[in-house]
C-alpha cells in the first residue's frame, strides 16, 4: 500500500484501481492546470486509464488520437504556446515481469504469491511516477500555437 494525494485517491476510487497509467494521467492533469488553467484543449495518445484522470481533472476539451502504445499529450492553451509532453518509455512501459503476471492474472492462473508480487510491482511503478520530477517524467517541447 502506498500513500497518495487525496485527489489521486478519489480518481482511483472512481476509476476502480490505482494503476501507473492513472498516475501518469493525474501528473499530466496537474501540469495542464499549471500551464493552461482551465482554458484550452488536450490531445492525448494514451491508454484509457490516463484519460479517466484527465477527464475528471479539468474542463479541457480532450481529443483522443489512436493509441500507439505510448503517452503523448499536446496541451493547447487558448493563449500561449503548444506544449507537447511525452512520457519516456522507462515510465510508460510496465516491464516484462508485470506483463507476464498480468497475463497469468487475466487467465486466473496466478498463485497468491504471484498476485502479491503483481501488486508490489504496480505499487513500485506508481511510486516511481509520483515521485519523479516533471523534468524526469516528461520530455517537453514548446511549439508555436497553430490556432494563434
Ligand atoms: Zn487503470
Up-side HSE of residue 146: CA atoms within 13 Å toward CB?
Answer: 6
Residues 6+ apart with CB under 8 A from 97: 121
pLDDT at 136 > cutoff 90: yes
pLDDT at position 70 is 84
| Ligand 1 geometric centre to CA of 147 (Å) | 33
Q: How far is the CA of 36 from the centre of ligand 1 (A)?
A: 25
Nine-digit cell at 125? 511503478
Q: For residues 10 and 82, what is the distance between their CA atoms, to the nearest angstrom?
A: 29
CA of 40 to the centre of ligand 1 (A): 25
- 93 φ, ψ (degrees, to nearest 5): -85, 120
82-86 β-sheet, strand order: 61-64, 40-45, 72-77, 82-86, 139-143
Residue 147 is placed in which grid cell? Answer: 490556432
| Statement: the pTM of the whole predicted model exceeds 0.85 | yes
34-89 pLDDT, tens digit each = 999 888 999 999 888 999 999 999 999 999 987 677 899 999 998 889 999 999 98
Domains and CATH numbers, the chain: 6-143 (3.30.1330.130)
What was the pLDDT predicted at 77?
93
Cα gap 2→66, rounded to integer Å: 32
- Residues whose CB is under 5 A from ligand 1 (ion)? 19, 22, 49
Q: How far does residue 94's CA lie from ligand 1's centre (Å)? A: 12
Q: DSSP label at 124?
A: H
108 — pLDDT class (breaks 50, 70, 90): very high
Instruction: Quote the ligand 1 centre to 56 CA distance (angstroms).
Output: 14
The Cβ-side half-sphere exposure at 103, using a 13 Å CA radius, reads: 6
Write the CB contacts of 96 (distance below 8 Å, at least 6 apart in sequence).
Answer: none
For residue 144, the model assigns a pLDDT of 86
Cα 12 to ligand 1 centroid, rounded to whole Å: 8
Q: For residue 124, name the pLDDT band (cuts at 50, 70, 90).
A: very high
pLDDT band with cut points at 50, 70 and 90 for residue 3: confident
Mean pLDDT score across all residues of the chain: 91
Amino acid at each position: 500500500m502506498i500513500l497518495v494525494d487525496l485527489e489521486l485517491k478519489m480518481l482511483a476510487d472512481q476509476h476502480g484501481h490505482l494503476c501507473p497509467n492513472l498516475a501518469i494521467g493525474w501528473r499530466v492533469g496537474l501540469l495542464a492546470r499549471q500551464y493552461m488553467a482551465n482554458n484550452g484543449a488536450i490531445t492525448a495518445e494514451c491508454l484509457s486509464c490516463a484519460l479517466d484522470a484527465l477527464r475528471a481533472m479539468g474542463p479541457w476539451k480532450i481529443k483522443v488520437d489512436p493509441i500507439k502504445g505510448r503517452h503523448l499529450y499536446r496541451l493547447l492553451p487558448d493563449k500561449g504556446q503548444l506544449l507537447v509532453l511525452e512520457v519516456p518509455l522507462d515510465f510508460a512501459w510496465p516491464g516484462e515481469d508485470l506483463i507476464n503476471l498480468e497475463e497469468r492474472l487475466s487467465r486466473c492462473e496466478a498463485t497468491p504469491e504471484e498476485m502479491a508480487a503483481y501488486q508490489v510491482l504496480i505499487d513500485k511503478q506508481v511510486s516511481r511516477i509520483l515521485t519523479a520530477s516533471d523534468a524526469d517524467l516528461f520530455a517537453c517541447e514548446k511549439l508555436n500555437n497553430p490556432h494563434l
